[in-house]
Structure 1
């Protein structure tokens, strides 16, 4: 799903639109945490970010 980063009252929010018929929308009702994955030309993640150095990235 495309996400937009919005700033409101000094806080940052990820905003998107989910159809009522999309089963992924139901998960927002029962989960307080989500995983957002960002891709792009600046999306390289160094293996040094992990708890062990030689993780595949």
Structure 2
């Protein structure tokens, strides 16, 4: 992730880069976290394989 001088975030996963405002990135983070919590609540066996990450382990 890079932050532009204009304030936008550039988030790259593999060969895809998404440019977004910090508030949009926070909304995306919250939506993904809620989805993961729902998946784990529906199937607790899936929670065991999940590792907490802040994205440092993702390819850039």
Q: TM-score range by the shorter chain?
A: under 0.3
Length-normalised TM-score, structure 1: 0.22
Q: Which of the pair is proportionally richer in helix?
A: 2
Larger Rg: 1
Bigger RCO (CA 8 Å, 6+ sep):
2
